[in-house]
Amino acid sequence: MRTVLEVRQLVKGFKPGLLKPRVAALRGVSFAVEQGECFGLLGQNGAGKTTTIKIATGLLAADSGAAFLLGKESGDAAARRALGYLPENPYFHEHLTPREGLMTYGRLCGLDRATIAERTPALLERVGLSDAANRRLRGFSKGMRQRFGLAAALLHEPELLILDEPLTGLDPSGRRLVKELILEQRRLGRTVVLCSHVLADVQELCDRVVVLHRGELVRQGTIHELLESAPRSFELCAEGVPEELCTRLAAAATLFRASGGTVTACLPGSDLGPAFAAQVHAAGGRLLSLAPERESLEAWFVRFLDERAHPAAPDAGSPRSASAPVEPLSSQPQPEEVST
């Protein structure tokens, strides 16, 4: 598998004011993104996500470490021609129309005028801006600006697309459109790096994710590896359930409803659901559904950060659970913040 983006031991600090101490934004961050995958970059505000992206795109220099695009350093102009980038708060030339804007940005990417003119109508149609093709960008809403920015990032058909909060400010139809475009890029064999606070979308779209916390990479893996594989609960739906069994179901469930001969029960844990399903069948009832409910990426993320902020003291002499995920550790010492 070809590595499209790689960052190695990135360290970056900022000095917020003349007399203020230096703040460490990145502390030895390393990861690699392979061709054809959708890769998620997660973290709270201030975790270092945008700093990582800016170094990876060559817009910012690292204090130490390096970033590589298609095997070349991120500052290399030839490597960046294969990159499409939509920042969180894009700036456009307000006096231009979408047609004019795409012509300008396409020329900056090295495309000839004929190619840009050929691709522009279909691309504006794809992002839902055909009717606004001749309007000035200064009159666009935030959602329309996001769509135009995505069109500009896709114009030169990049091998790697980096999107920083691309779903911000979009209505439901716009969100669906952006997600469809991301999936289209994957089907074409291109690579997408997605930075988003909407973790339901990350869970839906991404193959792998890394989690940054206070400038450090604290977890990485596939969605399946990060989330608990065992169901946290089951939702059981059945009809024709005897009254005595209904009483036991209601006592065990965290949520119980009975209406028109149909009962619905939310049963905690991974054992109660299958056990009660077998009892419904044995009692002559009809099991309509037994749906496992697993932890969402958003719930996992909040729980994970809360556990890092408030670590529970292990029992004396008790070994670490074999099923507990192991966090990757940097092989180099973390840099200290420098005060001046």
**Residues spanned by the domain of 268:** 233-293
Model's pTM, two decimal places? Answer: 0.77
Nearest to 68 by CA among 51, 86, 77, 56: 56
Q: What is the predicted pLDDT for the residue at 304?
A: 84
Instruction: Give the CA count within 13 Å in the CB-facing half-sphere of 278.
Output: 4
Find out whether 191 and 158 touch, Cβ atoms under 8 Å: no
Domain end: 189, 204, 226, which one?
226
**Residue-level pLDDT, tens digit, the chain, 340 residues:** 789 999 999 999 998 877 888 889 999 999 999 999 999 999 988 899 999 999 999 999 999 999 999 889 988 888 888 899 999 888 899 999 999 999 999 998 889 999 999 999 999 999 999 999 999 999 999 889 999 999 999 999 999 999 999 988 788 888 999 999 999 999 999 999 999 888 888 999 999 999 999 999 999 999 888 886 667 899 999 999 999 999 999 999 999 999 989 999 999 988 999 999 999 999 999 999 999 888 888 888 888 888 887 776 555 444 433 333 434 433 333 343 333 3
Q: What is the predicted pLDDT for the residue at 38?
A: 95
Q: Is residue 133 part of a domain?
A: no
Helix (H) or strand (E) holding 89: none
Q: What is the predicted pLDDT for the residue at 225?
A: 85
Together in a domain, 19 and 50: yes
Q: What is the predicted pLDDT for the residue at 309?
A: 77
Domain end: 293, 319, 334, which one?
293
Q: What is the predicted pLDDT for the residue at 314?
A: 54
Find out whether 8 and 74 touch, Cβ atoms under 8 Å: no
Q: Is residue 299 part of a domain?
A: no
For 299-340, the three-class secondary structure string (H helix, E strand, C coil) is HHHHHHHHHHHCCCCCCCCCCCCCCCCCCCCCCCCCCCCCCC
Instruction: Provide the domain count of the chain.
Output: 2
User: 117: which 2 tokens?
Assistant: 């003119």
Which residues in 179-324 belong to E strands, given as ranges?
191-195, 208-213, 216-222, 233-239, 255-259, 262-268, 286-293
Together in a domain, 166 and 287: no
DSSP string, 5-60: EEEEEEEEEE--STTSPPEEEEEEEEEEEETT-EEEEE--TTSSHHHHHHHHTTSS
